[in-house]
Chains A and B, each alone.
Chain A
Amino acid sequence: MTSLYKFAAASLLFTFLPLAQAAGPVVVTDHVRGELLVHAPEGIRPGKTLWLGLAIDHQPHWHTYWKNPGDSGLATTLAWKLPAGFTAGEIAWPTPKKLPLGPLTNYGYENRVLLPVPVQVPAGFAGQELKIGLHAEWLVCKEICLPESGDFDITVPANAPVSASGALFSATRAATPVALEGATATARVDGKAIAVEVRGLAAAPQGDVQYFAEDIGVIDYAARVDQQWADGTLRLRVPLSPQRSESPTVLKAVLVAPGQPAGWTVSIPVEGPWPAIGAADPAPAPAAAVAPVPMPAAPAAPAADTSFVLSLLFAFLGGALLNLMPCVFPVLSLKIFSLVQHREERRKAVAGGMAYTAGVVLSFVALAGLLLALRAGGAELGWGFQLQSPPVVAGLAALFTLIGLNLAGVFEFGGVLPGALGGYRAKNPLVDDALSGALAVAVASPCTAPFMGAALGVALTEPAPQALAIFAVLGLGMAAPYLLVALVPALGRLLPRPGAWMVRFKVLMAFPMFATVVWLLWVLGQQTGIDAMAGMAGVLVALAFACWTIGAPAKSRGTKIAFAVAGGVVLAAAVHLAWPLLKAEPAGPAQASARSPGHWAPWSVEAVGQARAAGKPVFIDFTAAWCITCQFNKRTVLSDAQLLKDFGARDVVLLRADWTRRDPAITRELAQLGRSGVPVYVLLGPNHSQPPQVLSEVLTVEQVRTALGRIRPAS
């Protein structure tokens, strides 16, 4: 019986052993699926780097560990078998997750992770193929832990590119922490914690920064890290482990800010001595002495309620003033026009006013909701983000061309829209009013009007309900003047009486629309270059032609159809030709800044640092091509000869931060100033203790000069 049992066991062993050895690139265990992946998009060339990696797919809720596993666990290890001369580097560990487990915390990975390793191909490599072997060991845990291992092998051709896993490798690279240029950090032991200061992060993180210690045996992984952001410095208090076993002179850590899932690697030299390991704590000192050094107070934040109410007030005022901005004016004129038409029918006017208000408020809330959702997803966006996208700008240009052509009488909407829709629109003027509200918001959003900058900045740092409330009130403010005229007949009587002039006025209103189109094309040109701009202009001409073919009176049904087909074909051809141009790589930022007249240099964190290090004041113009207020200020105040002379006299370094296209660095800098849109004007003195002076959005020469007068010399 026993021998039979032994025989069975031996047979089993022999059945499975060969299987385990003939590995291949995939090993499946009870809890993970491991796969050896190769990434060599240019083939395996002598002297080049090639990427290998182990991809681990975990069963749900199972995890493996980072290089520092935290309170328990074990890092995954990879042992490569490569031909002579090939040298495999260290694992480029992607940023891990904190995996809390009761009072303990681990650092590791769930779901799918790739552990990439760079491999140096020897200069003399001339093989036709490469045989790669890997022995990997990992500890996979849920409530229980299982040490698992796998032997993988794969043979890849040397000359052909291997890029099937390119997407996973590049996604992993994007999820791997990087050193932050220009960032410096220091630390010192302070009681039972280590006080860390990080300078040179671009902006205040919106929420808690996670601290992942690379050093084993120093910190208490599960403890809360207190943090404070002030004067461009992030201060952290990282509690030390009561069972600290190491006293490194340089701490290594990965910092992960919300919205920056990959995080940054930082090296933190420890200033001053570590207390001896295992030394008894000093005799209990008076409470005051052991109290942690208090963190500097948060930037002057008035009681939350007051600041929120104040934000709402500013939002309302800002919304009302938005009506005067050149972006909104063309749409507003349309509204006034319809108001004149309805002046005799008060009920209709009131209903229209309500519908317009609803359209404006809902559009603002929807746009803000989208922005918040995208930011929550990690995108670095600010207010006006939609105009940073060339297709959106192109779409708006087409829409405004259509409205202009309609006003000019080239065609009637009724003739274009399918019968049912046209009829619906005529029967539902309220829908029309609501849509024109949406249109007004679409064009108004890039104009950050006075009072609105601060309110929007606050809004985007508040929790979603408050943020959306601020945007809703902003919409109410914008719709208020129109609603007021609709509600108060006395105001309505001030408007001119309807008559034949209205036809002429309607055509006249086509011109502000076309002017808006010119502006949008200019914005598009800044974003994508002159080719795309010309392409879009061609599309607009085709669009005008198509409108004309539809609107033109035709004798027979056949002619009408032929006309419409011709228009459609021309439009389709134009769009087909222009589309690739719109998607073309945007011109480099240098090009945009190179056009800046005068002494303006492109902004960067380094440029600011250099100027201040040299003891010079810095003036920063945060601007964008699609921001009309910015353009107005740029052409008037910031081009003022006397002011430029004053700048020169004080040796002010002038920097221009162009936000026409998406630029995360600028978005972060704006966030640090508590803003989320442009324009923003900032004057920094050479004295670091002097807070930055943020000037108003509607700039005056006098204001800038007063600010210049307040600059204190470097201390």
Chain B
Amino acid sequence: MFADYSWGELLSIFAMQGFAGLILFSVFVLMALGLAIIFGQMGVINMAHGEFMILGAYVTYLVSRLFESYAPALFGIYFFIAMALAFVVAGALGMLVEWALIRRLYKRPLDTLLATWGLSLILQQLFRTVFGAREVGVTIPQWMMGSLPLTDTIEVPINGLFVMALAMGISAAIYVLMFRSRWGLQVRAVVANRTMADAVGINTERTDRLTFGIGCGVAGVAGAAFTMIGSTGPTSGQLYIVDTFLVVVFGGAGSLIGTIASAFSISQAQSILEFFLSGSMAKVLTLLAVVGILMVRPQGLFALKLRK
């Protein structure tokens, strides 16, 4: 299948597909980080994760409309405000959900799956009632449009670069939060041994609620970032949920580095295969490979050594 292309063309193809893969990678990282915190650290299967992302996307849409109507001069920077707001709204809803639903189910992980699936149905219908069934898109500020030409055949879209930068920034922030802050230490202590953490005076209830809230908040930011590269509909979240879970499981639940590594390998595989096969076959092959590897290494790529 390579015979039809010259070396130079092949190189450009790999560079372009590799770059498309990097954007996909950033998207996967953004989606998966929130889930890696909730599923990896707390063991809660949040099937409504996609809906928290869509919530962030709708918040961004609302903010963009507000700026368009009331402060067109500041339109260039609306996105940063929208992102912060998306984090707060999704995070607050996350904490509410943790309080009302999740905290009753910590001992029954399979039941969190059903309950959060129910939550996702409710949220979807809520989006449909409020925003309508049609997909909405935001206007991208002027400075984010266009692309940077690198060579004659390779060019790089700026919004893609922006999403990549965002993914890196958020990963770094979460790393600091989890491994360099007092709160991160508490979370890891609660995960490792809930009873003992409780005994040494960590408020496990508050830690759980904050962890869940931050995971959902990150999902909201991911949703805000999505609006830069695609449109948003009430059921868009469902499209991503399987991919996201596979990324987290493949990387090894509980390992943030693993999540990033698995997002990278899955996105690159899919994006490069996509050029040579149809999109759906590329996806099938990638998912099959992931499932196959998971059967050999059930704990994922970077499993934490845990004593259970």
A and B held together in a complex: no
Give the A-binding residues of B (Cβ under 8 A): none
A contact residues vs B (CB 8 Å cutoff):
none
